[in-house]
């Protein structure tokens, strides 16, 4: 079964999965905190892209908690069924079925790109990070949250997740830092999310686009 079919299969069950409680819900809380900080320091309306938006939970949370004159959100996902669910749950939202590898086709520039728990499934990770930079305004933000394999327990914990998802590589913290260093981003904030001791390590990376990154690319 290819990755699209796997995520299509989970679409109608996604918001009831066990990972929601200790992984996805805490992730959304962290994301909202960061978006609020960015919005408070922004003079205009934030243009936000959620790459790998699934059923649009993060976008709905942002729209529910921030004024409409402060944020505009758009979501993309490789799964047609996930996008269908997102549109059904948020009829006024903007969602598109699109592979992240093709996101550079979107003409918009964003102030913030969110990428939560989908980066491990992407091939050519360094290239994807550079594309994120191209799609951001100078001084824009990339907020990534993902599981990370740093030790034996992380490997064991993630092996159970891999049984129900498509093929993925969960880079260690060190590998992620090296990847970020090789791209036009500066790491502004790093947080460990670990709701329960038996959960794998989950890290949030808040990266700022360098002012000269557009000319560099």
Listed residue (138, 137, 160) closest to 17, CA to CA: 160
DSSP 135: H
Q: What is the CATH number of the domain that holds 192?
A: 3.40.50.150
Backbone angles phi, psi at 110, to 5 degrees: -115, 150
Please give the pLDDT value at position 1: 40
The burial of 4, by beta-carbon neighbours within 10 Å (0-12 exposed, 13-18 middle, 19 or more buried), is given as middle
Please give the pLDDT value at position 215: 45
Please give the pLDDT value at position 23: 84
**H or E stretch at 38:** helix 25-40
- Could you tell me where the beta strands, DSSP code E, fall in the chain? 46-51, 71-77, 95-97, 110-116, 136-148, 185-193, 201-209
DSSP 45: P
Q: State the pTM of this model.
A: 0.89
* pLDDT per residue as tens, the chain (217 positions): 457 888 898 899 989 887 888 788 999 999 999 999 999 988 889 999 999 999 999 999 999 999 988 999 999 999 999 999 999 999 999 999 999 999 988 999 999 999 999 999 898 999 999 999 999 999 999 999 988 776 665 565 555 555 456 567 889 999 999 999 999 999 999 998 876 666 778 899 999 998 665 444 4
The total domain count for the chain is 1
Query: Residue 83 and residue 97: Cα distance in Å, rounded?
Result: 6
Q: Is residue 136 a contact partner of residue 211, using CB atoms and an 8 Å limit? A: no
For 167, the domain range is 3-216
Please give the pLDDT value at position 81: 97
Helix extents (H) in 41-172: 57-65, 80-89, 125-135, 152-162
């Amino acid at each position: 079964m290819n990755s699209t079919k796997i995520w299509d299969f989970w679409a109608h069950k996604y918001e009831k999965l066990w990972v929601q409680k200790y992984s996805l819900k805490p992730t959304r809380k962290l994301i909202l905190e960061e978006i609020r900080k960015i919005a408070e320091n922004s003079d205009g309306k934030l243009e936000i892209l959620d790459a790998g938006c699934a059923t649009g939970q993060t976008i709905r949370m942002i729209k529910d908690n921030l004024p409409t004159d402060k944020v505009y959100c758009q979501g993309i996902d490789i799964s047609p069924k996930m996008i269908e669910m997102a549109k059904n749950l948020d009829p006024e939202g903007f969602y598109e079925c699109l592979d992240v590898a093709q996101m550079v086709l979107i003409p918009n520039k964003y102030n913030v790109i969110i990428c939560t728990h989908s980066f491990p499934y992407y091939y050519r990770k360094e290239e994807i990070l550079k594309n994120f930079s191209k799609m951001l305004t100078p001084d824009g933000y990339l907020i990534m949250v993902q599981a990370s394999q740093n030790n034996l327990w992380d490997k064991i914990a993630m092996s159970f997740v891999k049984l129900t998802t498509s093929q993925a590589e969960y880079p260690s913290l060190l590998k992620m830092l090296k990847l970020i260093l090789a791209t036009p981003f500066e790491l502004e904030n790093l947080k460990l999310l670990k709701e329960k001791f038996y959960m794998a390590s989950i890290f949030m990376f808040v990266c700022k686009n360098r002012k000269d990154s557009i000319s560099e690319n």
